[in-house]
A and B are shown apart, each in its own frame.
Chain A
Amino acid sequence: MRRHGFARDALIETLHTVQEYFGYLDKPSLKFVAESLRVPLSQAYGVATFYHYFTLKPPGKHTCLVCLGTACYIKGASQLLAVAEESLSVKAGETTIDGNVSLVSARCIGSCSMAPAFIFDGETAGNVNETVLRGKLEGWKD
């Protein structure tokens, strides 16, 4: 916040920083940011819920991100998402009950040349098929 001179318009920047450090935006941190930047809490909450990038729930230990961009979709990403959902027994956007894996879907990660693309814990993987996906998810179970 200091870097942006406590400017009100730096709300999104500040929330990015908070999420980077804590993994998600919880109520106390949202409140703290809103008070420090002198913006209404409603605006901070509105911004945090408007943008898909922000999450108000703590993420799992591992994250499996499925790209659902057009190129990936044409190459069968939605079937792969169904596989992941079935294997983890959660829906996209949820975290397994044990807090181990979060399954997230994205609009497009711009790796269309390697469709279908996934991001496993921050590492992009291209040309993913069912075997690779199942293997990766199994590997996280321990």
Chain B
Amino acid sequence: MTLEELEQIASEAKAVKEKSPRELNVCVAAGCLSLHSDTIKGALEKEVQRTGANCRVRGTGCMGLCSLGPLVSSEPDGLLLKNVAESDAGEIVARLDEAPPERLRCSREQPFFQRQTSIVLENSGRVDPEKIEEYIAADGYQALLHSLTEKAPGQIVQEVSKSGLRGRGGAGYPTGLKWGTVAKTVGVTKYVICNADEGDPGAFMDRSVLESDPHRVLEGMIIAGYAVGASHGYIYVRAEYPLAIKRLGIAIRESRRMGFLGSQICNTKFSFDIEIRIGGGAFVCGEETALIASIEGRRGAPRPRPPFPAQSGLWDMPTLINNVETYANIPTILRRGGEWYASLGSKKSKGTKVFALCGKVKNVGLIEVPMGMTLREIIFEIGGGVPEGHTFKAVQTGGPSGGCIPGQFLDLPVDYESLKEVGSIMGSGGMIVMDDSACMVNVARYFMEFCMSESCGKCIPCRAGTAQMFELLTRMTCGTATPHDLELLEELCDMVSSTSLCGLGQSAPNPVLSTLRYFRDEYTEHIVQKRCRAGVCECGRFAEVSA
């Protein structure tokens, strides 16, 4: 494959588009698919065939506003149709040249779409994830070809460093630095791993990226392989994401067919191949050393670091391990330059971040915003605020390792540092909005239950500590706790976070600590007055009965 050949494929795909510019794009990512968007696509295809309309019906990835699905977009006018049903197919095809019926119309002018900046999601909802030609037509694999033929590996690492990209898995380690370390380490073979074990409950960014634009992740991984000198890559995907696994499989096959994977890629000396590894549903496998153990076919138990995977990882070889979203940023960074990327975002956190906005908020879906946007803008402008009749209480970020951020910090700019300052973390990007019907003690208990059952059991602070904390929190929610229990809980939080082996245990107390920090009065209410103001806990019901 040469650059000319690539352009040839791109122009052919564009020519098809020009020949029949009318398109109906049906979202076939997991959200809309579970609302039977595939039958809608079938119905539209049948209708187009029946009427002979000059229109192509395509299946594309996620369009973002999942709560109004199934979504269909019509090109080239860019109209978006919401809540489409199978029975609407006739009307949609018949009125292709006029405005669609009012009940289906979904404005793209609303803040949900206007306030976003798309890099990772730029092709999402626009290309067919199962066709490599469409990705190539959207400038795909250009960055790879240019990198392989024009740049030295060191230059690529430099470009990534310049972009200021930081690990999107949550910890925010500078990506360029990590790549540089792996590139410098000497090893017989080196590996590149993509962490797609999205275990955080309430997060579905990686799933959407893999289902909507899998080639972008592959391209990022191949470039990473070239930059650090690796010959083999693994994508570790959760078994709970069958559609993502299927589309990745197709993408890898297509990519091999085109010669972007395999030996002597694009007539250069560089050879690289990617394999999918399917996880087994263990949250701890999102931790890098546990993930490596799992790829090696063992139980997913973490090990102490150092040595870091960059020095000694998979089969004791230097290993580069990054998140899906990190790799998905790479092609665009190399195409448009590190400086351009660094111009987006805040001072210390560059670029954009994808969030899965869900919970008690009007517009539920997938969003991508520049770093440094405030929580208020994200939740109230893009998200449309909490549904009527309720008030905003807190937003939870970072999953079971993160914390709850109360209303007083709504004007906080979202980046790695500021979220950490208020006791939460960026995490992989789940953002769950809670209203006054949520009890914070119960939320803390929920997360502790999660950490307790997901603890791998290797180190004692995590295995026993989470169980004890869960017990204490349960007592509070049942109304049997004493003030001494609160002291014990705080002591345990400190102990578990400072002595656990891996990230799971170290961050397990975070939800408790953050709720204690901002909603301490709720804890005291549970303990002293045996009252739950949200009416969620048992102790609340008990009080109601006795009153």
The interface of chain A, by Cβ under 8 A from chain B, is 7-13, 15-16, 39, 43, 46-47, 50-54, 68-71, 73-75, 106-115, 117, 123-126
Contact = CB atoms under 8 A, between A and B. Distances in A.
A69 B201 contact: yes
A3 B434 CA distance: 47
A12 B277 contact: yes
B66 A110 contact: no
B30 A111 contact: yes
A120 B62 CA distance: 23
Given A12-B277, A112-B364, A71 B294 contact: no
A52 B30 CA distance: 22
A9 B315 CA distance: 10
B31 A114 contact: yes
A107 B30 CA distance: 17
Nearest to B433: A74
Interface residues of B, number: 51
A67 B454 CA distance: 16
B78 interface: no
A15 B239 CA distance: 12
Contacts of A50: 280, 282, 299-300, 456
B370 interface: no
Interface in B433-458: 434, 438, 446-447, 450, 454, 456
Contacts of B278: 12-13, 16
A71 B66 CA distance: 14
A112 B202 CA distance: 6
B496 interface: no
Contacts of A11: 297-298
A127 to B, nearest CB: 9
Given A70-B396, A112-B204, A126-B34, A107 B239 contact: no
Given A74-B434, A107-B199, A114-B31, A9 B282 contact: no
26 contacts: A8-B297, A11-B297, A12-B278, A46-B299, A50-B282, A50-B456, A52-B281, A69-B201, A69-B202, A70-B202, A71-B358, A74-B360, A74-B432, A108-B202, A108-B203, A111-B30, A112-B358, A113-B67, A113-B356, A113-B358, A114-B31, A115-B358, A117-B34, A124-B33, A124-B34, A126-B34
Contacts of A124: 30, 33-34
Contact of B359 (A9, A75, A107, A108): A75
Given A71-B202, A112-B202, A115-B358, A12 B294 contact: yes
Given A107-B199, A110-B204, A113-B358, A70 B295 contact: no
Interface string B100-137: 00000000000000000000000000000000000000
Contacts of B34: 111, 114, 117, 123-126
B286 to A, nearest CB: 11
Nearest to A17: B278
A78 B532 CA distance: 17
A142 to B, nearest CB: 24
B143 interface: no
Nearest to B199: A107
Interface string B63-77: 000110100000000
B204 A70 contact: no
B201 A107 contact: yes
B241 interface: yes
B377 interface: no
B296 interface: yes
Contacts of A73: 201, 446
Nearest to A7: B297
Contacts of A15: 280
B23 interface: no
A110 B207 contact: yes
A111 B204 contact: yes
A71 B359 contact: yes
A45 to B, nearest CB: 10
Contacts of B298: 11, 43, 47
Interface in B351-375: 356, 358-360, 364-366
Contacts of A108: 199-204, 240
A112 B296 CA distance: 31
Contacts of B203: 108, 110, 112
A109 to B, nearest CB: 6
Contacts of B540: none
A46 B281 CA distance: 14
A107 B241 CA distance: 13
Contact of B277 (A8, A13, A43, A51): A13
Contacts of B33: 124
Nearest to B301: A50
B288 interface: no
Contacts of A12: 277-280, 294, 297
Nearest to A51: B280
A126 to B, nearest CB: 6
B523 interface: no
Interface string B297-340: 11110000000000000000000000000000000000000000
- The 9 tightest CB contacts between A and B, nearest first, are A51-B280, A113-B66, A69-B201, A124-B34, A70-B202, A108-B201, A53-B281, A9-B297, A110-B204
A30 to B, nearest CB: 14
Given A51-B300, A68-B201, A70-B446, A110 B241 contact: yes
Nearest to A68: B201
Which one of A46, A52, A68, A110 has the highest number of Cβ atoms from chain B below 10 Å of its Cβ? A110
B459 to A, nearest CB: 15
Contacts of B299: 46-47, 50
Given A71-B202, A117-B34, 6 more contacts: A12-B278, A13-B277, A112-B203, A114-B31, A114-B67, A124-B33
Contacts of B454: 107
